[in-house]
Structure 1
Amino acid sequence: MKNMPCLLIIDMQKGMSWPQAGQRNNPNAEQDIAELLAHWRVHHAPIVHVRHLSLEPESLFWPEQDGALFQDVFQPLSHEMVIDKSVPDAFTHSNLAVWLQEKGIKDLVVVGVSTNNSVESTVRTAGNLGFNTYVVQEACFAFAKADFNGYERSADEVHAMSLANLDGEYATVISQDSAFTLLSSAVAQSQ
């Protein structure tokens, strides 16, 4: 597991696929994430599943409600790490950083939802903690949102701005093909 990049899958829960979640971009993100997950599993590379459990009873992600459950295709295997969070950042109030350090993991490949919320928050912390962090642009998605001035922004605009916030400062934004190459290179070096 040492020197292998860890796939960090953020908030791929049933509620994220429901219409109440809002208008989103990257409609093929689930398929892309599932392909990455399958590839990581084939190579026995480390995987962390992050699950948001809200503190608000009205939330889609209130614990033990259907919306908080992992989507079927993203059910963690028994040996895969699961991190529960109640704030956007997966590192806050969790043992994620310690677990990664104990495993000797230096590289993170981050996918999931939503780009401008939990993905961005987690990636900022990962970068600040010194992890080599990669965000797979087509394996993340965002929802439409009004900006601070009240102008409605499409999900594509929100996604693109969030990636721009991260790239080159906290992380490197990459394609799915580049993520496959990153893992293949690590596997080749470990043999």
Structure 2
Amino acid sequence: MTTALVLIDVQRGFDDLEFWGPRNNPDAEANIAALVKAWPGPVVAVRHDSVKPGSPLAPGTPGNAFKPELDDLVPDLLFGKTVNSAFHGETDLHAWLTDRGITDITVVGISTNHCVETTARVGGNLGYRVVVPIDATYTFDLEDLTADQLTAATATNLRGGGFAEITSTKEVLAGL
């Protein structure tokens, strides 16, 4: 299969709503789990190893672990990153994908307007066909915008900028 499923920061630390604030899309984890369960090709799991003091995503903390929906996951590639893009982590994701002849990526995870969007943009710039089932992502309210507004802006940015196709979990699953 020439498409990899890229799981972005599906970590327990994002459950700390006192730290992050209100989130959207309560069905995101179920949609991510459905994609993982059905995925016929390579799965890449990326973990955010925060260097920010007090972050619930810091290495060595319970929040750095993946969410329970991924407890049975044995990814083809697992690595950490300290920035938004999975293409700038401790593993050269572009080289790994290229070595395996992977030309398409489906990107899901947290948070929609940060790490998911940045990974999708870089992937698009590198020439991958990028698909984002937007209902398999979520984010948090930020400044004057709600999480739903930020998700809509991300979908518009990725689609309108030619970086990614925006779709749904149901549509991706139907195409497998």
TM-score, normalised via structure 1 length: 0.86
Q: Does 1:72 align with 2:68?
A: yes
Superposed counterparts of 1:168-179, under 5 Å: 168=160, 169-179=162-172
Instruction: Report how many residues are paired.
Output: 173
Shift of 1:181: 2.9
2: CA distance, partners of 1:114 / 1:95: 21
2:44 aligned partner, one-letter code:
V
Give the secondary-structure state (helix, strand or coil) at the position aligned to 1:23: coil
Q: Partner residue of 1:160?
A: 152
Per-residue CA deviations over 1:113-170 (Å, capped at 9, x if unaligned) read 1111000111110000000000001101111011xxxxx1111001110111111410
**Alignment partners' CA distance in 1, 2:4 and 2:154:** 22
Question: 2:109 is matched with which residue: 105, 108, 112?
Answer: 112
Unaligned 5+ segments in structure 1 are: 147-151, 185-191
Aligned-residue RMSD, C-alpha: 1.4
Change (3 A) 1:105 1:162: same
Matched residue, 2:6: 8
Q: Which residue of 1 aligns with 2:132?
A: 135
Identity between Structure 1 and Structure 2 (%): 36
How far residue 12 of structure 1 moved from its aligned partner, in angstroms, is 0.4
CA distance in 2, matches of 1:157, 1:67: 26
Q: Distance between the aligned counterparts of 1:75 and 1:82, measured in 2? A: 13
Q: Is the 8 A contact 1:15 1:21 kept in 2?
A: no
**Structure-2 change in CA distance of 1:90 and 1:96 (3 Å):** same
Q: Which runs of 5+ in 2 are unaligned?
A: none
Tell me if structure 2 keeps the 8 A contact 1:76–1:82. no
